[in-house]
Amino acid sequence: MHERTLAYSPCPNDTYIFAALTNGMLPDAPRVRVALGDIEELNTAAAAARHELTKVSYGAIPYLMRDYRILRAGGALGRGCGPLVVTRPGVADALDGLRGKRFAIPGERTTAFMLLQLALGGRPDAVQMRFDRIIPAVAAGEVDAGLIIHESRFTYQADGLHAVTDLGDWWERASGMPIPLGAILVRGDVGDEDARRINEAIRASLAFARSDEAAIMPYVREHAFEMSDDVMRKHIELYVNEYSDDVRDDGIAAVRELFGRAHAAGILDRDAAPRVLR
């Protein structure tokens, strides 16, 4: 198998999962060339089918199924790990109090923005910015509220903000299902046999990380910029779980439910079904 491009974010959950694979720690594993990017940058690149293997938001996947299918390993699903809506004290105490207000969001096709629109019952006034710019923008009064993801859920209180809504909790109460956040996609020009080898290599990379963290944590720390070890560890513990090994049947059911609700609400202009590698 020739070298494949693998794109993922510098967030600790991704670097933890892929460290062994991308740093030559797995004998006989497929060779990959890494491209790092913010999640919305990855969503945009996937829309142009730029990478053979890429992490994307589930919110973007309905637009990508012509060119990609979902690998079973390496993704981000779970419970208690959803995006938060935060604001300054005195602005609002509940999500309904933010209707008509301006939100900073991490991307138009992130799962977080899809969930926000479902919870609000419509599209808010929103400005897109990189996820790590959202908390400073809310704190400075540039926007009324922020939709935060990644490690921001562990740090927003230090900037004097408070959480109005946990959209993961909202989703779990509404659906009874885990929340689908992100997936690893494989492009259509990669054959099924090679895609399965890559899928197994991702599982092996995660197993290596769990068994020998001392070997992979320098790579994780290298990319966890401006993040304490405590926040980095919390990030990994929250987002790396049993669904990282396999999306599982209940995970796929949750994805179908998310897409169905988004289509019924007019957020998606098309029916969408996840194409998962068998």
Q: What are the catalytic residues?
A: 150
Closest CA to 16 of 219, 203, 211: 219
79 phi/psi in degrees, rounded to 5: -125, 145
Q: How many whole angstroms separate alpha carbon 114 and alpha carbon 99?
A: 16
Amino acid at 209: A
Which residues are 162's β-sheet partners?
Answer: 87
The answer to whether 220 and 18 have CB atoms below 8 angstroms apart is no
Q: How many whole angstroms separate alpha carbon 265 and alpha carbon 121?
A: 8
Which residues are 8's β-sheet partners?
Answer: 36
Closest CA to 5 of 18, 13, 16, 17: 18
User: Scanning the structure block, which residue is given the tokens 């956040």?
Assistant: 181
Amino acid at 227: M
